[in-house]
Amino acid sequence: MSVQPIRSSSKSVRDLVSAEEWQLRCELAAAHRLVAHFVFVDMTYNHISVRVPGEPNHFLVKCETAYMEQVTASNLVKYDLDGHQVLASEFKASPAAYNVHAAVLKARPDIVSAVHTHSPANLAVSAQKCGLMPITQQAMRFYNRIVYYKNEFDDTTAEGTAHLARALGDQWVMILENHGALICGKSLPEAYIYHHFFELACRAQIGALAGGSELIMPSREVCEERVAKAGRVGVYDANSRDWTAGIALADKLFPEYKN
């Protein structure tokens, strides 16, 4: 069954933006489609952001009326870091989307892209006092590199998300207790790929705990060796085999993402 597009009277914004922004819009739309393809996410309430090339105070994010499966290059919306829409559009972002992403990008100039999702797996881990356990190779990528954020502030407000951004500190991965996950990267491919690994780690943990058997817990030395090797930030870029394979898959399954 094909995914229905959002009803829109607007034309493509390709002629209204730079070639670099249009390329990034296409890539960001593809990332949303890929997350929706591989991860069961929460209706319209999950989103990915990325800074606009040459415009570090501007970012692109999903509009509030779209599922990830419906995102296209043209229905993405453009905001500044103070939460103001800077390119005319019939669409707008939800308060949570522009506040969360604006706060994080404003606080951390080194972050280029952020993924925020509520999947059944990351929601389940966010409700467990043990947090993410290093019981798989995917989970070891995040060993001692996760900020656990208390569910105390309203993330639809600028005040609440400013607190979230301060809590992130200099880290790149946050579990929002009873809420979900925030995964950041130095590029869109990196944020997308780390989110994928994080999702697999959460699914594996829920499955392992549900099995009821005693878990095999790797040593601290093994975890530290694995995170040093595979958990570095800055590893994944547009030439990553995982990203190029993902774009090829999006081209095949969801070619309308470039509209």
Judged by DSSP in three states, 219 sits in coil
Distance CA 4, CA 11 (A): 17
Residues 200-207 have a mean pLDDT of 98
- pLDDT higher than 80, residue 51: yes
Residues 161-182 have a mean pLDDT of 97
Q: What band does 54 get if pLDDT is binned at 50, 70 and 90?
A: very high
- pLDDT higher than 50, residue 214: yes
Give the C-alpha distances (Å, rounded to integers) separating 54 from 11, 51, 239, 244.
24, 9, 20, 23
Residues 45-51 have a mean pLDDT of 97
**What integer pLDDT is reported at residue 142 of this predicted model?**
97
Number of H helices, E strands in the chain: 8, 7
Instruction: Report the chain's mean pLDDT, rounded to a whole number.
Output: 95
Q: Decide which of 13 and 6 is more confident.
A: 13
Q: 74-88: b or e for each residue (b if 16 or more CB lie within 10 Å)?
A: bbbbbbbbebeeeee
Residues 168-192 have a mean pLDDT of 97
**What integer pLDDT is reported at residue 233 of this predicted model?**
80
> Domain residues of the chain, as ranges?
19-236
Distance CA 10, CA 73 (A): 12
Residue 91 dihedral angles phi and psi, to the nearest 5°: -105, 160
Give the C-alpha distances (Å, rounded to integers) separating 104 from 97, 110, 114, 207, 243.
11, 10, 8, 32, 23
Q: What band does 6 get if pLDDT is binned at 50, 70 and 90?
A: low
Domain 19-236 has CATH 3.40.50.1000: no
Rg of the chain over Cα atoms, rounded to whole angstroms, equals: 18
**What integer pLDDT is reported at residue 5 of this predicted model?**
62
- pLDDT higher than 70, residue 3: no
Q: What band does 4 get if pLDDT is binned at 50, 70 and 90?
A: low
- pLDDT higher than 60, residue 56: yes
Which amino acid, 128?
Q
pLDDT in tens, 218-254: 999 999 999 998 877 888 999 999 999 999 999 999 9
- pLDDT higher than 60, residue 2: no
Judged by DSSP in three states, 200 sits in helix
**What integer pLDDT is reported at residue 150 of this predicted model?**
95
pLDDT in tens, 114-157: 999 999 999 999 999 999 999 999 999 999 999 999 999 998 89
- pLDDT higher than 90, residue 11: no
Residue of 104, 131, 123, 107 lying closest to 115 (CA atoms): 104
Q: What tokens were used for 237?
A: 């870029």
